[in-house]
Amino acid sequence: MSGHSAVRVVIADDHPMFRYGLRAVLVEGTEVEVVGEAASGEELLTVVDRTRPDVVLTDLAMPGLDGAGATRSLLSRHPDLGVLVLTMHEDDQALMGALRAGARGYLLKGADRTEIVRAVLAVASGDAVYGEAVARRIVAFFTGAHRDYAAQVFPELTEREREVLGLLATGCGNHEIARRLVLSEKTVRNHVSAVLFKLRVRDRAAAVAKARDAGLGT
């Protein structure tokens, strides 16, 4: 995307009237150009292949292939694509599922035009963006009840090691964990090694499986 051109967006939602309203909201200004629409995950893959947008603005609940599944498929084919979820689902399972799939942003339906356009532009620039309510859930997920629960099921780990394990369980790699926890990647690798040793598992996949069996990252 060039510095002054409109961000090319594809909208995916199985409700035609919602797509119509969202398109009308997005094209009020000159920042965004809607280049395609889709009513299902499968249709979204086809439309993106044809139109090559900068950003996909998608719901999660769609017939057939859902938004998270479509996101995984899209990013395997178009790794530079920005995916912004716009949904009514604010539960942890939906949120973390979308983030694990690779979504770069997550807004709740009801966000106003300014918030949506700002999020589209941010995602197109490579930034991650979350609505205020979603950001609170993310913070609560990693610092609230889930942290207390992790302490109960993995008492052998330090608090920092439990944070690292929780992020591993959501699909984060070393670089992303380092960014979120404001650590060096070397420090993250050391924490991961400690987690593997203390949990008596051979690799990350086994640690993630153990964490998810305990309810982390799901």
62-120 pLDDT per residue, tens: 988 999 999 999 999 999 999 999 999 887 778 878 888 899 999 999 889 999 999 99
Q: Is the pLDDT of residue 2 over 50?
A: no
Residue 24 sits at φ, ψ, to 5 deg, of: -60, -40
Do 161 and 194 contact (CB within 8 A), yes or no?
Answer: yes
pLDDT score, position 203? 93
* Identity of residue 106: Y
- The answer to which of 76-85, 188-197, 203-212 has the lowest mean pLDDT is 203-212
pLDDT score, position 175? 92
* Identity of residue 92: D
Cα–Cα distance measured from residue 23 to residue 147, given in angstroms and rounded to the nearest whole number? 40
More confident call, 97 vs 207: 207
Q: Is the pLDDT of residue 140 over 70?
A: no
| Structure-token pair, residue 157 | 């780990």
Residue 186: CB atoms within 10 A of its CB come to: 10
Mean of pLDDT over the chain: 88
Structural domains of the chain, ranges and CATH numbers in brackets: 7-131 (3.40.50.2300), 144-213 (1.10.10.10)
Do 66 and 41 contact (CB within 8 A), yes or no?
Answer: yes
Do 32 and 6 contact (CB within 8 A), yes or no?
Answer: yes
Per residue in 18-63, pLDDT (tens digit) is 999 999 999 988 889 999 999 999 999 999 999 999 999 999 999 8
Q: Whole-prediction pTM value?
A: 0.65
* Identity of residue 75: L
Instruction: Identify any residues that bridge with 8 across adjacent strands, giving them in sequence order.
Output: 33
Do 62 and 39 contact (CB within 8 A), yes or no?
Answer: yes
Question: Is 153 in a helix, a strand, or coil?
Answer: helix
Banded model confidence at residue 130, pLDDT cuts 50, 70, 90: confident
Cα–Cα distance measured from residue 4 to residue 181, given in angstroms and rounded to the nearest whole number? 34
| Residues contacting residue 19 through CB under 8 Å, at least 6 positions apart | 11, 13, 37, 39
Cα–Cα distance measured from residue 13 to residue 158, given in angstroms and rounded to the nearest whole number? 43
Cα–Cα distance measured from residue 150 to residue 155, given in angstroms and rounded to the nearest whole number? 8
Q: Stretch 178-203: mean pLDDT, rounded?
A: 93
